[in-house]
């Protein structure tokens, strides 16, 4: 495994520690971008923590991902304030913009991942969309569409997609 | 188990299994309890949940290690050095139980002298266990007055197995951790009724109830009871019988429900011995590898097809009840023996198994108080001398039968066969969780075969990568006695230089490799240590 | 401008940064330097990032202080900075058209700031800023000259109740824990602000993290805890960062660590535990499970955490706002604190005022203030001059207060009586365009997705509630369904294991109580607020349609047809009612009914 | 001892006892699904709710410790109504295929549904559907029947120390499964099967072997290792079709893979059915008992006469009963006349 050194380092920080499962998963995800099965199993066996505990915890908390995510992360807030300010339609719009089929959250070209979160706590500037960690308040459909197009433009490979979008 | 009997007067577990729950410290040595006695391990876990602390000593990182506070990973066959080292620390730290030692033991001086040299440093050098861990274990065990020691074949199946047991006994005697509830020495029996077979007198030196054949008074009593003339000459132990057969001295062998061909060391030697017999009579439920060599095979019944009793590892007499009719013409063992006996001119006539049990109880007071009706729902621990006796959970409450018990000065002797340049690996053998003994039962159970039906050899990742062995690769393991081919299982359970092969698989029988070196006293073979080498195999055909 | 003292405070909470606070600050730095003003005032020009002052909707807010004389600017972007520097700082003439107006002042006028008193005024990343306004004095006083019992007495007398939801008296909780003998005790700050529509904890930690830390130190001293945890949502990166900085600074100043303030026996430190995205972890026992690295599944109480909590040890769990009150109560006295509020609900409460209100933001008001004052005086009324319909309080555990109960007093008892709760302080204003069935469904969707799955009523019951609601919003409901909602809702409340399940039906039950006619309209296939998708039809209003084709392009179902520059039509049999055409049309030519 | 009043009955229990334990001591029945006396309380099924004076809402009796003078009511119309709602909810997410279920007649859920007369379901709705079946050879895991009581998870962790399974996901999607939903790969002790109150966990070998009603149960002792666990053989038409262990026995109902699942050797077609005599050519032929016994006796007699009794040895078995072993050594000593008798204690 290429990531063995990373994993060894993460594991080393938790030897003999009680209750480190969540922190370990967070560190693995920070380092590898998601939670690969082999990585977790390796650490579980290394620290003699049941593999099932990692799986149980990882599937319980919304923060953990089992598949690699896109290069650009779009986080749409689904808090109440955003909801009453039309976040649902906004999110549907983004999904359409990214051609995401039902249930899908990452574009096949691994460029974009659209995720929904409960509330980012920026309710007075609702609706809120976070694009690559930058918070966009009072996010209108147009504004977000422009942002996404700008992101695509930076990627040469996406140029073709861009053209079909414009008339 | 014989050695424990020599020390204390009885070779059985001194505690009952239930008492494990009340233990403060549990020390297992040479016992893969989680796999070989899973339900006893459950009790240990229960104790640990209640706060008990666990020490595990084993060359392999056995599953129980996961629950241990201290894991002593000793080199195979160095148990005496480890145990002496622990005793050394206990004495040095003044953790011994002086009152107990004064009242119930003797020859402490001899022990003191013999362990003087076993400083933690010295013990560490021999065993490979860090000296800090030896000290920690000694402080933990020695500091407790409610500690139990558990061991199995990892202790006894050595050329110095008796020494190992003596060294264990020393620890219990030093700390007084014996003769009270939830503290004692507990050899765990590997088979359902080993205890019962011993108790019932299937030993060459004693009648039922460990009554010596060479004592005229005893012999006379049995002659009278059995109305027969008996020999006062001690008989051959099983391993000696094989040897004797090979030498042509033993001419006939009657084997009931045993498969020595697979379970005895050095299979090549055993085969020759059995083939050398004039007459081999085997009584079993399957046509085992041993039965295949027989002149006559008699179809017997299994546990579900007969009534009777088993005595488990904690001396508990429990009922066995007939649930189904035997297949075909198969007959109950008791009936077969009786009919054979009649034909040899010694009539046996038992109306039921209960009648036989009562006769046994009449000859051995420890069982005298037990009847089938008393154990209908729950078994009773012997000794139970009278009908109103509740049975005995733990032994030696009122002292040892022989008065004072001696410490034994035990010297460390290395195993008979050590790894060398030609055979650089140490092989140890044993059981795995799913299969049982020679496999005649479990290997006929479809789900077990589906899950654990293939032989394998455990090898460390370090050795595997050095030799270019992938996980699952077929390799050949060779000893001075033979060779087998099996799959490599790369695992952290074994350390560098150590291999482990489970004994159950006849197609790659571990006992092709093992040495028939015996413990000089107990005549137990050294299954736990022999020297081997490994080679890669180019094709599967080559194995066959 | 020589010899004047210039101060610049830039709002840099999450809202401020989202609106470009960082760029504004960079612009100020650059222009101050290039204009030479920095040199001319001889270092008496100071610039501070400050935390949120509540009115994030007007971010970036910038205070310019010239010799203490404050002018506040709103909606500032980096492009506006050169002009401010030139006209205001150099020439001394504030730019009137950019300064805040009457609504900004109204927003603050009726507020009483305790917890938020220093938020927005001090630099949250500088412990000295906190110390300069009296910070850590309470710690020194408590640790050096008071017994734990004396501290507890003050807190008890103040009448402070837990601000996380249930409103348990804080002093009493501390007292119970203080009296238990144990080798280890813990104090946990619950910063797992999971209620959608609530952000007081985030703002407090971003704006004044030391107040929370100080509250924990005083709490730890009172109960005898050596270990502290802040359990905080990973979704609040800025708050986490500021908390880390604050903890480091507190350690450097010996407010944390071993031998705090030189008292040999007093050891206490705080660790941060990041939540991983589970609303239920706001529940005490689930939070403990989560800190222990397990699935956040609550367990039955008793035993309560104060007896058996983290690792089985006595544990006090207080929420952020509760803890942030402590230093102020200690400094200003129990009597001062209890002079605010009602008989049973003392002090102030922070609310997150959001939704269809003009001034949406974070407010702190005395307990018992009428809802009307919050909505109309502080909030400035409803956006777009629409009619107020209801105010939802307490998030997914709370309920809706209808417009005709606008004079209700905001305290624990009154809200409970109305079928809602104070909760952690979320307050969402709903107007005539909001469908109450949809709002109930929104909250149910939330709790159903956040149910841990341990107990049957919550795991399956909330699912069934949602299914019934879904049916109703599709126009397929019956009168029996409404009865079933009430019956099942009340059974779930009675039979569920933890607070999540016990309160999950509240949004349904309270809307059923106050807005039953709206449910009944749905049974007849109508959504009066025109929100429920399945009950809507979209059509093109020909006279407004320019034939620009925007709707046609955006329609994912191919339901829009029409030639360029001619009015388009929507085929209702193909329409999936996503509303994309409605959103995209610049001419209001798409009708929704 | 702590005094408690349950449904008007006074009792005294040890400190730390739960209300449920106290009620059971007083023979007051309280329905439960997730509670198991040998496992930590879970409190998830909510069926054991009771009313306690001074506590405003119903509490689960399995998790609530008794306090001095506590007054408990275990059954009121309101409580029974809540219980029925809870049961209906469980059954609304259950296949309800009792007619095909292995555990029919031996299922706590079925028993309670019967008792509470749950027939129509007010809460019918989406049900969990799992297409993938667990491929392990021992344990059938039908997770659609799982009521998420957590007993198996607890047993696997607390009793067995393995934690091969755990809760995964959450809410309605919660599922008990091995990591990454792979096939179960564990010690296969079957403790989970033993504690499962529904048909979610059964032995793969139990399938279609027979209904409970015409199965004969025989209590006996496990034939494997020396632990000697109490087992119950379930027999139908002279075949052992299932092995269980009684919770009341000393081993508390816990077994290992061999004890619980290793019984099919009993009815193996490879069992010896007739005596066999080896022919000169080397092969075996079937023989009658008389012939075989006569022949064996003749050979033993000859050898004894020719070489003396000590030229004969006997190896008995640690797997046979005490009675078998007693007779065997008596045979060797009295009928043959040698002490050459041993067994495999050393192996």
Contact B192 D226 (CB under 8 A): yes
| Integer CA distances (angstroms), D321 to C265, C520, D225, in order | 67, 77, 14
Portions of chain C given CATH number 3.40.30.10: 6-100
| Alpha-carbon dihedral sign for residues C38, C40, C43, C46 | negative
Cβ of D208: how many Cβ atoms within 10 Å? Answer: 8
Q: pLDDT at position C579, please? A: 82
Instruction: Report the length, in residues, of chain C.
Output: 593
Q: Which residue has the higher pLDDT, C1 or D219?
A: D219
CATH of segment(s) C536-592: 3.30.70.20
Q: pLDDT at position A164, please? A: 45
- Residues pairing with C346 in the sheet: C341
β-strands C227-232, C186-191: how paired? parallel
Place of tokens 């699904």: D33
What is residue C337's three-state secondary structure?
A: helix
Residues D206 and D263: beta-carbon distance below 8 Å: no
Q: Collect all residues with Cβ–Cβ distance below 8 Å to C582 and sequence separation of at least 6.
A: C538, C590, C592
Q: pLDDT at position C385, please? A: 85
Low-confidence winner among A98-107, B340-349, C475-484 (lowest mean pLDDT): A98-107
Q: How far apart are CA B319 and CA B321, in angstroms?
A: 6
Domain of D263? 212-267
D324 and D336 share one domain: yes
Q: C127-337 adopts what CATH topology?
A: Rossmann fold (3.40.50)
Chain C residues in contact with D58 (beta carbon < 8 A): 494-495
Q: Which of C378, C377, C436 minimizes the C-alpha distance to C403?
A: C436
Contact D326 B447 (CB under 8 A): no
Q: Best residue in C23, C192, C196, C432 to probe A by mutation, most A CBs within 10 Å?
A: C196
Architecture of domain B425-543: Beta Barrel (2.40)
- Per-residue pLDDT reduced to its tens digit, A23-80: 999 999 999 999 999 999 999 999 999 999 999 999 999 999 999 999 999 999 888 8
Q: How far apart are CA B425 and CA B458, in angstroms?
A: 12
Average pLDDT value for residue range C82-90: 88
Q: Does residue C199 come out as left (phi exceeding 0), alpha (psi in the -120 to 50 range) or beta? A: alpha
Contact D333 B279 (CB under 8 A): no
Average pLDDT value for residue range C65-69: 85
- Per-residue pLDDT reduced to its tens digit, B122-164: 999 999 999 999 999 999 999 999 999 999 998 988 888 899 9
Q: Long-range contacts of range A162-167, CB-CB < 8 Å, 24 or more positions apart?
A: A167/C553
Contact D324 B337 (CB under 8 A): yes
Please name the member of D46, D169, D173 whose beta carbon is closest to the beta carbon of C455.
D46
Place of tokens 């399945």: C534
What is residue D219's three-state secondary structure?
A: strand
- Per-residue pLDDT reduced to its tens digit, C90-146: 888 899 999 998 888 888 888 999 999 998 889 999 999 999 999 999 999 999 999
Strands lying side by side in the sheet with D341-342: D284-286, D276-278, B296-299, B279-284, B252-256, D312-315, D341-342
Q: pLDDT at position C427, please? A: 92
Q: pLDDT at position B541, please? A: 53
Q: How far apart are CA A88 and CA A86, in angstroms?
A: 5
- Indicate whether this model's pTM tops 0.80: yes
Contact C450 D171 (CB under 8 A): yes
Is A72-165 a CATH 3.10.100.10 domain? Answer: no
Cβ of B355: how many Cβ atoms within 10 Å? Answer: 13
Cβ of D234: how many Cβ atoms within 10 Å? Answer: 20
Q: Is D150 on the interface with A (CB under 8 A)?
A: no
Cβ of A40: how many Cβ atoms within 10 Å? Answer: 26
Q: Collect all residues with Cβ–Cβ distance below 8 Å to B351 and sequence separation of at least 6.
A: none
Question: Which CATH number does the domain C436-523 belong to among 1.20.1250.20, 1.20.1440.230, 2.40.110.10, 3.10.150.10?
Answer: 1.20.1440.230
**Would D176 be classed as within a structural domain?**
no
Spell out where chain A has E strands. 72-77, 112-117, 129-131, 134-136
pLDDT over 90 at C215, yes or no? yes
Portions of chain A given CATH number 3.40.30.10: 72-165
Cβ of A127: how many Cβ atoms within 10 Å? Answer: 28
Residues C480 and C507: beta-carbon distance below 8 Å: no
Is B2-188 a CATH 2.40.280.10 domain? Answer: no
pLDDT over 50 at C470, yes or no? yes
Q: pLDDT at position C3, please? A: 67
Q: Provide the terminal-to-terminal Cα distance of chain D, rounded to the nearest Å.
A: 51
Q: Provide the terminal-to-terminal Cα distance of chain C, rounded to the nearest Å.
A: 61
Q: Which of B416, B441, B420 minimizes the C-alpha distance to B527?
A: B416
Instruction: Among D75, D92, D127, give the residue marking a domain's end.
Output: D75
D316 and D295 share one domain: no
| Integer CA distances (angstroms), D46 to B190, B476, C119, C326, C504, in order | 44, 59, 45, 38, 17
Q: Which of C111, C181, C428, C173 minimizes the C-alpha distance to C322?
A: C173
pLDDT band of C41, cuts 50, 70, 90: low
Q: Is A26 on the interface with C (CB under 8 A)?
A: yes
Residues C499 and C439: beta-carbon distance below 8 Å: no
Chain B: give the shortest CA distance to residue D213, in Å: 17
Low-confidence winner among B59-63, C1-5, C96-100, C409-413 (lowest mean pLDDT): C1-5
**Angle, CA of D189, D191 and D192, to the nearest 5°:** 115
D253 and D284 share one domain: no
What is residue B396's three-state secondary structure?
A: coil
Q: Which of B73, B34, B77 minimizes the C-alpha distance to B56?
A: B73
Contact B37 D226 (CB under 8 A): yes
Chain D residues in contact with C286 (beta carbon < 8 A): none
Q: pLDDT at position B129, please? A: 98
pLDDT band of C583, cuts 50, 70, 90: confident
| Alpha-carbon dihedral sign for residues C430, C431, C436, C438 | negative
Q: pLDDT at position B379, please? A: 96
- Residues pairing with A136 in the sheet: A129
Cβ of C80: how many Cβ atoms within 10 Å? Answer: 17
β-strands B53-57, B70-72: how paired? parallel
Q: Is B512 on the interface with D (CB under 8 A)?
A: no
Q: pLDDT at position A161, please? A: 46
Q: How far apart are CA B149 and CA B28, in angstroms?
A: 6
Instruction: Among D47, D75, D103, give the residue marking a domain's end.
Output: D75
D345 and D333 share one domain: yes
Q: Is C564 on the interface with D (CB under 8 A)?
A: no
- Per-residue pLDDT reduced to its tens digit, B75-115: 999 999 999 999 999 999 999 999 999 999 999 999 999 99
Buried b (16+ CB within 10 A) or exposed e, D156-169: bbbbbbbbbbbbbb
CATH code of the domain in which D228 resides: 2.20.25.90
Average pLDDT value for residue range B347-360: 96
Q: How far apart are CA C450 and CA A117, in angstroms?
A: 12
D262 and D323 share one domain: no
Q: Is there contact between C and B if contact means ≥3 C-beta pairs under 8 Å?
A: no
Chain C: give the shortest CA distance to residue A107, in Å: 17
pLDDT band of A163, cuts 50, 70, 90: very low
Contact B322 D255 (CB under 8 A): no
Chain B residues in contact with D223 (beta carbon < 8 A): 192, 302-304, 441
CB pairs under 8 A between A and C: 163
The ipTM, to two decimals, is 0.92
Q: pLDDT at position C465, please? A: 97
Average pLDDT value for residue range A111-129: 86
Domain ranges of chain B: 2-188, 189-235+305-321+334-386, 240-299, 425-543
Q: Best residue in D188, D206, D228 to probe B by mutation, most B CBs within 10 Å?
A: D228
Q: Is A64 on the interface with D (CB under 8 A)?
A: no
Q: Between C137-145 and C320-332, two packed helices, what is the crossing angle to 10 degrees?
A: 70
Q: pLDDT at position A167, please? A: 35
Q: How far apart are CA D106 and CA D254, in angstroms?
A: 18
Q: C6-100 adopts what CATH topology?
A: Glutaredoxin (3.40.30)
Strands lying side by side in the sheet with C45-50: C45-50, C6-11, C62-66, C69-73
Average pLDDT value for residue range B358-363: 96
Its CATH class, for the domain covering B189-235+305-321+334-386, is alpha beta
Q: How far apart are CA C313 and CA A64, in angstroms?
A: 29
Q: Is D41 on the interface with C (CB under 8 A)?
A: yes
For residue D326, with 0-12 CB atoms within 10 Å meaning exposed, 13-18 middle and 19 or more buried, which class applies? buried
Cβ of B310: how many Cβ atoms within 10 Å? Answer: 29
Please name the member of D164, D169, D170 whose beta carbon is closest to the beta carbon of A52.
D164
- Residues pairing with B284 in the sheet: B299
Average pLDDT value for residue range B439-451: 94
- Per-residue pLDDT reduced to its tens digit, C317-348: 999 999 999 999 999 999 999 999 999 899 99
Q: How far apart are CA A121 and CA C571, in angstroms?
A: 40
- Per-residue pLDDT reduced to its tens digit, A40-52: 999 999 999 999 9
The total domain count for chain D is 4
Which residues in chain D show pLDDT less than 70?
Answer: 345-347
Q: Best residue in D219, D318, D338 to probe B by mutation, most B CBs within 10 Å?
A: D318
- Give 3-state DSSP helix, strand, coil % of chain D, rounded to 5: 30, 20, 50
Q: Which of C584, C592, C532, C544 minimizes the C-alpha distance to C568?
A: C544
CB pairs under 8 A between B and D: 469
Please name the member of D228, D324, D347 whose beta carbon is closest to the beta carbon of B263.
D347
Chain D: give the shortest CA distance to residue C257, in Å: 37
pLDDT over 60 at B543, yes or no? no
Contact D65 C491 (CB under 8 A): no
Q: How far apart are CA D19 and CA C592, in angstroms?
A: 58
Q: Is A67 on the interface with D (CB under 8 A)?
A: no
Token pair recorded at residue B10: 């009885």
Place of tokens 């016990």: C502
| Integer CA distances (angstroms), D34 to B177, C450, C455, D112, D163, in order | 40, 22, 10, 13, 18
Q: Using omega within 30 degrees of 0 as the cis cutoff, is the peptide bond preceding B142 cis?
A: no
CATH of segment(s) C348-431: 3.10.20.600
Do B425-543 and B189-235+305-321+334-386 fall under one CATH topology?
A: no
Question: Which CATH number does the domain B240-299 belong to among 3.40.50.1470, 3.40.50.720, 1.10.520.10, 3.40.228.10?
Answer: 3.40.228.10
Cβ of D90: how many Cβ atoms within 10 Å? Answer: 25
Contact A52 D169 (CB under 8 A): no
Chain A residues in contact with C442 (beta carbon < 8 A): 80, 83
**Would D181 be classed as within a structural domain?**
no
- Which residue in C has a C-alpha nearest to residue A56's C-alpha? C295
Q: pLDDT at position A28, please? A: 95
Q: Is C46 on the interface with D (CB under 8 A)?
A: no
Chain D residues in contact with C451 (beta carbon < 8 A): 170-172
Instruction: Among D75, D90, D105, give the residue marking a domain's end.
Output: D75
Portions of chain C given CATH number 3.40.50.11540: 127-337
- Phi, psi (5° rounding) for residue B352? -160, 170
Chain C residues in contact with A48 (beta carbon < 8 A): none
pLDDT band of A165, cuts 50, 70, 90: very low
Q: pLDDT at position B49, please? A: 95
Average pLDDT value for residue range B439-457: 95
Q: How far apart are CA C494 and CA D57, in angstroms?
A: 6
Token pair recorded at residue B182: 């939830």
Q: Best residue in B156, B293, B303, B516 to probe D by mutation, most D CBs within 10 Å?
A: B303
Q: pLDDT at position C44, please? A: 62
């Amino acid at each position: 495994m290429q990531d063995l050194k990373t994993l060894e380092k993460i594991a080393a920080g938790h030897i003999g520690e009680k209750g480190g499962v969540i922190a370990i998963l967070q560190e693995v995800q920070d380092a590898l971008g998601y939670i690969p099965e082999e990585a977790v199993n390796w650490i579980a066996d290394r620290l003699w923590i049941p593999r099932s505990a990692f799986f149980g915890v990882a599937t319980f908390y919304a923060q953990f991902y089992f598949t690699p995510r896109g290069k650009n992360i779009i986080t749409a807030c689904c808090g109440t304030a955003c909801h009453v300010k039309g976040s649902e339609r906004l999110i549907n719009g983004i999904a359409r913009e990214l051609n995401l089929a039902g249930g899908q959250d990452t574009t096949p070209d691994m460029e974009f991942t659209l995720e929904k979160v409960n509330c980012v706590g920026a309710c007075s500037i609702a609706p809120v969309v976070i694009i690559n960690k930058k918070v966009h308040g009072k996010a209108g459909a147009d504004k977000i569409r422009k942002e996404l197009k700008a992101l695509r433009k930076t990627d040469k490979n996406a140029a073709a997609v861009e053209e079909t979008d414009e008339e | 188990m014989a050695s424990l009997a020599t020390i204390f007067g009885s070779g059985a577990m001194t505690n009952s299994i239930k008492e494990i729950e009340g233990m403060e410290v549990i020390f297992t040595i040479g016992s893969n309890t989680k796999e070989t006695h899973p339900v006893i391990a459950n009790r240990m876990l229960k104790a640990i949940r209640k706060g008990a602390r666990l020490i595990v000593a084993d060359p392999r990182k056995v599953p129980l290690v996961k629950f241990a506070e201290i894991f002593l990973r000793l080199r195979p066959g160095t148990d005496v050095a480890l145990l002496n080292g622990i005793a050394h620390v206990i004495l040095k730290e003044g953790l011994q139980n002086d009152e107990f030692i004064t009242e119930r033991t003797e020859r402490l001086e001899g022990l003191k002298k013999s362990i003087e040299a076993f400083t933690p440093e010295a013990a560490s050098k021999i065993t490979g266990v860090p000296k800090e861990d030896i000290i920690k274990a000694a402080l933990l065990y020695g500091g407790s007055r409610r500690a139990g020691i558990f061991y199995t074949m990892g202790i006894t199946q050595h050329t110095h197995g008796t020494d190992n047991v003596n060294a264990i006994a020393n620890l219990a005697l030093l700390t007084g951790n014996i003769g009270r509830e939830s503290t004692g020495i507990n050899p765990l029996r590997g088979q359902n009724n080993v205890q019962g077979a011993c108790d019932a007198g299937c030993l060459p030196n004693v009648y039922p109830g460990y009554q010596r054949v060479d004592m005229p008074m005893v012999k006379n009593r049995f002659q009278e009871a059995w109305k027969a003339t008996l020999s006062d000459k001690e008989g051959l132990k099983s391993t000696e019988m094989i040897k004797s057969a090979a030498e042509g001295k033993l001419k006939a062998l009657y084997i009931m429900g045993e498969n020595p061909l697979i379970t005895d060391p050095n299979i090549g030697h055993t085969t020759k011995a059995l083939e050398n017999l004039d007459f081999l009579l085997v009584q079993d439920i399957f046509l085992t590898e041993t039965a295949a060599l027989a002149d006559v095979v008699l179809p017997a019944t299994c546990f579900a097809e007969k009534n009777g009793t088993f005595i488990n590892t904690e001396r508990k007499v429990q009922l066995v009840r007939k649930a189904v009719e035997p297949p075909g013409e198969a007959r109950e063992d008791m009936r077969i023996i009786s009919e054979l006996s009649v034909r040899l001119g010694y009539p046996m006539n038992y109306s039921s198994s209960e009648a036989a049990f009562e006769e046994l109880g009449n000859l051995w007071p420890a069982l005298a108080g037990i009847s089938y009706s008393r154990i209908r729902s729950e078994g009773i621990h012997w000794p139970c001398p009278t009908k109103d006796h509740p049975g005995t959970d733990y032994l030696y409450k009122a002292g040892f039968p022989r008065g004072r018990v001696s410490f034994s000065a035990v010297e460390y002797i290395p195993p008979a066969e050590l790894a060398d340049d030609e055979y650089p690996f140490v092989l140890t053998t044993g059981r795995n969780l799913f299969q049982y003994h020679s496999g005649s039962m479990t290997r006929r159970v479809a789900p077990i075969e589906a899950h654990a039906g293939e032989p394998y050899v455990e090898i460390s990742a370090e050795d595997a990568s050095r030799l270019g062995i992938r996980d699952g690769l077929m390799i050949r393991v060779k000893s001075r006695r033979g060779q087998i081919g099996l799959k490599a299982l790369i695992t952290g359970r074994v350390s560098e230089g150590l291999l482990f092969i489970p004994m159950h698989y006849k197609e790659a029988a571990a006992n092709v490799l093992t040495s028939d070196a015996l413990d000089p006293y107990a005549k137990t073979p050294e299954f736990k240590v022999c020297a081997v080498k490994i080679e890669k195999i180019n094709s599967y055909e080559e194995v066959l | 401008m020589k010899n004047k003292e210039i101060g610049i405070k830039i709002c840099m909470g999450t809202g401020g940064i989202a609106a470009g606070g960082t760029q504004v600050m960079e612009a100020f730095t650059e222009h101050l330097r290039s204009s030479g003003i920095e040199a001319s005032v001889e270092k008496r020009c100071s610039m501070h990032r400050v935390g949120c002052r509540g009115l994030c909707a007007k971010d970036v807010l910038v205070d310019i202080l010239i010799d203490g004389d404050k002018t506040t600017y709103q909606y500032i972007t980096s492009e506006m900075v050169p002009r401010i520097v030139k006209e205001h700082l150099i020439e001394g003439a504030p730019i009137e058209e950019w300064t805040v107006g009457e609504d900004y002042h109204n927003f603050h006028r009726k507020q009483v700031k305790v917890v938020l008193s220093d938020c927005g005024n001090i630099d949250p990343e500088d412990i000295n800023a906190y110390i300069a306004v009296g910070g850590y004095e309470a710690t020194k006083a408590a640790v050096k000259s008071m017994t734990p019992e004396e501290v507890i007495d003050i807190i008890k007398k103040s009448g402070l109740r837990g601000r996380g939801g249930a409103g348990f008296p804080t002093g009493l909780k501390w007292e119970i824990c203080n009296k238990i003998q144990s080798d280890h005790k813990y104090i946990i700050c619950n910063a797992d602000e999971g209620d959608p529509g609530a952000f007081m904890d985030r703002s407090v930690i971003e704006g004044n993290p030391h107040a929370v830390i100080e509250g924990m130190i005083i709490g730890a001293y009172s109960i005898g805890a050596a270990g502290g945890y802040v359990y905080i949502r990973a979704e609040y990166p800025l708050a986490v960062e500021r908390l880390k900085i604050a903890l480091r600074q507190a350690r450097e100043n010996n407010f944390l660590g071993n031998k705090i303030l030189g008292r040999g026996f007093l050891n206490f430190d705080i660790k941060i535990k990041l939540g991983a995205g589970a609303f239920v972890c706001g529940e005490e026992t689930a939070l403990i499970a989560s800190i222990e690295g397990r699935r956040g599944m609550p367990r039955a109480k008793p035993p309560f955490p104060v007896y058996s909590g983290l690792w089985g040890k006595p544990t006090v769990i207080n929420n952020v706002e509760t803890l942030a009150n402590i230093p102020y109560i200690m400094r200003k006295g129990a009597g001062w604190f209890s002079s605010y509020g009602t008989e049973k609900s003392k002090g102030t409460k922070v609310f997150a005022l959001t939704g269809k209100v003009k001034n949406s933001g974070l407010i702190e008001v005395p307990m018992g203030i009428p809802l009307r004052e919050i909505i109309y005086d502080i909030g400035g009324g409803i956006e777009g001059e629409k009619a107020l319909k209801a105010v939802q309080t307490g998030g997914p555990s709370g309920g809706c207060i209808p417009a005709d109960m606008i004079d209700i007093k905001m305290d624990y008892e009154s809200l409970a009586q109305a079928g809602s709760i104070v909760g952690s302080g979320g307050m969402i204003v709903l107007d005539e365009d909001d469908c109450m069935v949809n709002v109930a469904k929104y909250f149910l969707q939330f709790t159903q997705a956040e149910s841990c799955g341990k107990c049957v009523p919550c795991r399956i019951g909330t699912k069934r509630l949602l299914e019934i609601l879904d049916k109703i919003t599709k126009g397929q409901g019956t009168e029996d369904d409404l009865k079933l909602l009430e019956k099942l809702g009340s059974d779930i409340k009675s039979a569920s294991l933890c607070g999540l399940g016990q309160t999950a039906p509240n949004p349904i039950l309270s809307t059923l109580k106050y807005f039953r006619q709206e449910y009944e309209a749905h049974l007849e296939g109508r959504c009066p607020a025109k929100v429920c998708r399945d009950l809507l039809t979209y059509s093109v209003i020909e006279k407004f349609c320019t034939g620009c084709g925007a709707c046609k392009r955006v329609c994912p179902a191919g339901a829009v047809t029409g030639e360029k520059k001619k009015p388009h039509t929507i085929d209702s049999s193909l329409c999936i009612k996503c509303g994309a055409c409605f959103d995209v049309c610049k001419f209001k030519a798409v009708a929704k009914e | 001892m702590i005094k408690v009043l349950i449904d008007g009955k006074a009792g005294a229990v040890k400190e730390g006892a739960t209300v449920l334990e106290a009620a059971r001591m007083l023979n007051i029945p309280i329905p439960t699904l997730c509670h198991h006396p040998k496992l930590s309380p879970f409190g998830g099924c909510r069926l054991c709710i009771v009313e306690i004076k001074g506590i405003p809402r119903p509490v689960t009796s399995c998790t609530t410790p008794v306090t001095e003078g506590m007054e408990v009511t275990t059954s009121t119309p309101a409580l029974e109504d809540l219980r029925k709602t809870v049961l209906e909810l469980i059954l609304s997410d259950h296949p309800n295929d009792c007619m095909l279920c292995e555990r029919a007649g031996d299922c706590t859920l079925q028993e309670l549904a019967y008792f509470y007369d749950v027939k129509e379901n007010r809460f019918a709705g989406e049900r969990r559907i799992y297409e993938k079946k667990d491929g392990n050879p021992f344990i059938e895991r039908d997770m659609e029947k799982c009521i998420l009581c957590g007993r198996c998870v607890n047993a696997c962790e607390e009793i067995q120390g393995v934690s091969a399974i755990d809760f995964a996901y959450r809410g309605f999607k919660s599922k008990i499964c091995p990591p990454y939903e792979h096939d179960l790969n564990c010690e296969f002790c079957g403790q989970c099967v033993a504690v499962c109150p529904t048909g979610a966990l059964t032995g793969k070998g139990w399938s279609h072997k027979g209904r409970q009603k015409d199965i004969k149960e025989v209590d006996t002792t496990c034939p494997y290792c020396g632990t000697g666990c109490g087992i119950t053989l379930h027999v139908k038409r002279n075949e052992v079709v299932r092995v269980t262990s009684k919770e009341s026995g000393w081993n508390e109902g816990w077994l290992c893979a061999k004890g619980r699942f290793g019984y099919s050797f009993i009815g193996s077609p490879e069992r010896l059915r007739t005596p066999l005599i080896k022919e000169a050519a080397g092969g075996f032929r079937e023989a009658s008992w008389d012939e075989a016994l006569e022949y064996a006796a003749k050979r033993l007699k000859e050898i004894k006469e020719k070489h003396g009794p000590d030229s004969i040895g006997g190896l008995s078995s640690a797997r046979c009963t005490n009675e078998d072993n007693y007779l065997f050594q008596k045979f060797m000593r009295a009928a043959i006349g040698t002490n050459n008798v041993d067994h495999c204690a050393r192996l």
